[in-house]
Chains A and B, each alone.
Chain A
């Protein structure tokens, strides 16, 4: 009898657990889900990143760290969209991972709300980290009121990927560093086949950093004013550059927005449907490990503007940050210090994970794959930091929504630019 009662209790308990699993679907409340982000105990450091392409390399570096210090780590990879949801819930519920990636889109919010561990004093005392060894702009992304909140992990620039086989087939010269955006357009026309089996180019509506932002800066335009209070979408230079993109769309040298949205530019490029695609240096590992791209494709500097002669690259850098309220902040700092050290940064470059932020490590990265990676390094000669403000995500997503209508042909680019400026100004005013 007793046993039966116990069993029934156990069953009831199990039911509660299953309710827990399905419940909370429509609760817009603050129940920070500790299960997914896992504030770790037992001295093991939880580390969170969003890029699966970088996972093997980062794991290797973390293993080195464990060997050196005896501190164990556990790496979790969560896709970009869910990553920020997880981090948000973790921040609110007090269960952030011990160490994690920070991005310029979000850093301001986290820093100004004291979610990140203040690293200023630790960096000042450290023998391994000297701010002079990393690009100043990247520090700028993770500095709030003169305090450092993250150590730069990497820098990234943009370059143009092309499919050599398709160029050979169309009997065209490979792209060179002297190309203008117009040259690219001309080649794209010739590389596009009428039956839709092959397109010259792919720049999706949300490919801002690797795509049209570069065209805008080349043309002397901008996205956001220097003091981050006003949108520059409606400036004549910006509109002019975007109208060139509109030309690409109208000429049909790109797959339809439907196709690009269902498959993604990288997938289309990797499956030989698209001849050219501008991509960030963070994609190199993926293209190196893909048999088709490794064999058929290469990379070259971005084209420049015919009007101004400028060739710029939007760039950005991730940072390693730690939770302000973590239980293992001492160890978390040790890990960040290690990850930012010359040794780990050198290894990150050698493994081809990404370009490292530490100065003088780029040569090792250029040798990490059998492509013309020097192109990415050359793009560093003229760099513009990725436009950001406190609410970057909000206005950027809205921009992407509005641009969809240009891709489908329902709106002219000039109108879209004005609309984007309007909504962005509204959001900037609210910051």
Chain B
């Protein structure tokens, strides 16, 4: 091993190389077949006026794109999606962070609380949506009846998208919290001790120790949640009936994609909408990557 320069591999290195690849192979195959290839197929499809059952596709160049850019429904859906993301992401991160810090202390029934907060994550999204649909129901719903309100939570175009975002926050809290908890456990206790000796209060050490040291985790959660929020579909689909007057002002881009691709059977137009979403997601993520240099600290 002393004579460097040549990458002559020892038996051990070879075996590590082989096994390493072997271990990631299943995941790689899965990614390629289920994600990478479909992405390119989708882009390819967006240049076609698709025929029934994938037969008889006609190449139309950028026609779908020029239609998408002129379609007010698409832009409205983009606005809806952004509204959803702007509410869901910050709140779900902030609340989860506070909960994680509170539940990271030694206290009675800690694991019970953790389990309860994580539970929505385990429940099927369809079931979650059904329960919330009932809670939000303007005539028979629990919320309106308990508080004697008459708010059309999910059918008033002005507030429906935020009501849906509340469901999103509620169901993702536990997941974010668990990620933050694991991040918090990486922070050595000495820092807090030193800080308290210097007279720092809990709040101060939260902002000056916890947040900076947790920033890689926060960044990871932020990036994945933004992407997740831009792809929101199941909540709108399950909670909103097709005859809902607020649907226009609530439907997300993926919902619109579903409508065109699977209900109206216009795969080409649907594909164009998701390509638009893909581009937007990439732009947002690139900006976040650039922005992280300003606030994320890696040890």
Interfacial residues, chain A to chain B (CB-CB below 8 A) = 5, 8-9, 12-13, 15-16, 19-20, 23-31, 81, 84-85, 88, 91-92, 109, 112-113, 115, 204-206, 257-264, 271, 273, 393-394, 397, 400-401, 404, 407-408
Could you say which residues of chain A place their CB within 8 Å of the CB of B27?
A: 12, 15-16, 19
Could you say which residues of chain B place their CB within 8 Å of the CB of A81?
A: 242, 263
B34, A28: Cβ atoms under 8 Å? no
A-B contact pairs, 25 of them (CB 8 A): A9-B22, A9-B26, A13-B26, A16-B26, A16-B27, A16-B30, A20-B30, A26-B42, A26-B274, A26-B277, A28-B41, A28-B257, A28-B271, A29-B37, A29-B41, A88-B262, A112-B52, A257-B155, A258-B245, A261-B241, A261-B244, A262-B154, A262-B155, A394-B264, A394-B266
A27, B30: Cβ atoms under 8 Å? no
The stretch of B84-92, B135-143, B168-176, B188-196 in contact with A is B135-143
B14-37 contacts to A (CB < 8 Å)? 19, 22-27, 29-31, 34-35, 37
B26, A12: Cβ atoms under 8 Å? yes
Interface flag for B265 (CB, 8 Å): yes
Interface flag for B80 (CB, 8 Å): no
B154, A113: Cβ atoms under 8 Å? no
B243, A400: Cβ atoms under 8 Å? yes
Secondary structure of the B side of the interface? helix
A23, B34: Cβ atoms under 8 Å? yes
Complex partner residue of B38 from A9, A24, A397, CB under 8 angstroms: A24
Could you say which residues of chain A place their CB within 8 Å of the CB of B24?
A: 12
Complex partner residue of B265 from A16, A31, A109, A408, CB under 8 angstroms: A109
B139, A259: Cβ atoms under 8 Å? yes
B89-103 contacts to A (CB < 8 Å)? none
Complex partner residue of B267 from A28, A115, A273, CB under 8 angstroms: A28
B243, A206: Cβ atoms under 8 Å? yes
B139, A91: Cβ atoms under 8 Å? no
- B contact residues, total (Cβ < 8 Å): 54
B262, A205: Cβ atoms under 8 Å? no
A261, B155: Cβ atoms under 8 Å? yes
A23, B137: Cβ atoms under 8 Å? no
Could you say which residues of chain A place their CB within 8 Å of the CB of B148?
A: none
A262 to B154, CA, bound (A): 8
Interfacial residues, chain B to chain A (CB-CB below 8 A) = 19, 22-27, 29-31, 34-35, 37-39, 41-42, 45, 52-55, 133, 137-140, 152, 154-156, 231, 233, 241-246, 248, 254, 257, 261-267, 270-271, 274, 277-278
Could you say which residues of chain A place their CB within 8 Å of the CB of B152?
A: 258
Which chain B residue has the least Cβ–Cβ distance from A258? Answer: B155
Q: Could you list 7 further interchain pairs (A-B, Cβ under 8 angstroms) beyond the known A261-B241, A273-B139? A: A15-B26, A88-B265, A113-B53, A261-B155, A261-B243, A264-B241, A407-B245
A8 to B26, CA, bound (A): 11
Could you say which residues of chain B place their CB within 8 Å of the CB of A28?
A: 38, 41-42, 45, 257, 261, 267, 270-271, 274
- Minimum distance in angstroms from A248 CB to a CB of chain B: 16
- A30-B41, A109-B52, A263-B139 are contacts. A23–B243 as well, Cβ < 8 Å? no
Could you say which residues of chain B place their CB within 8 Å of the CB of A26?
A: 42, 231, 254, 257, 274, 277-278
Complex partner residue of A115 from B53, B140, B155, CB under 8 angstroms: B53
- Minimum distance in angstroms from B208 CB to a CB of chain A: 37
A113 to B278, CA, bound (A): 32
Report, nearest first, the 9 A-B pairs whose CB atoms are least far apart: A27-B38, A258-B155, A23-B34, A16-B30, A29-B41, A16-B26, A261-B243, A28-B271, A19-B30
Which chain B residue has the least Cβ–Cβ distance from A19? Answer: B30
Could you say which residues of chain A place their CB within 8 Å of the CB of B271?
A: 28
- A109-B52, A113-B55, A263-B137 are contacts. A258–B42 as well, Cβ < 8 Å? no
- Minimum distance in angstroms from A70 CB to a CB of chain B: 34
Could you say which residues of chain A place their CB within 8 Å of the CB of B29?
A: 16
Could you say which residues of chain A place their CB within 8 Å of the CB of B133?
A: 262
Which chain A residue has the least Cβ–Cβ distance from B25? Answer: A12
Could you say which residues of chain A place their CB within 8 Å of the CB of B246?
A: 258
Which chain A residue has the least Cβ–Cβ distance from B160? Answer: A258
Which chain B residue has the least Cβ–Cβ distance from A430? Answer: B49
A393, B231: Cβ atoms under 8 Å? no
A205 to B155, CA, bound (A): 14
Which chain A residue has the least Cβ–Cβ distance from B281? Answer: A26
B26, A408: Cβ atoms under 8 Å? no
A47 to B241, CA, bound (A): 27
B241, A262: Cβ atoms under 8 Å? yes
Could you say which residues of chain B place their CB within 8 Å of the CB of A259?
A: 138-139
Could you say which residues of chain A place their CB within 8 Å of the CB of B241?
A: 261-262, 264
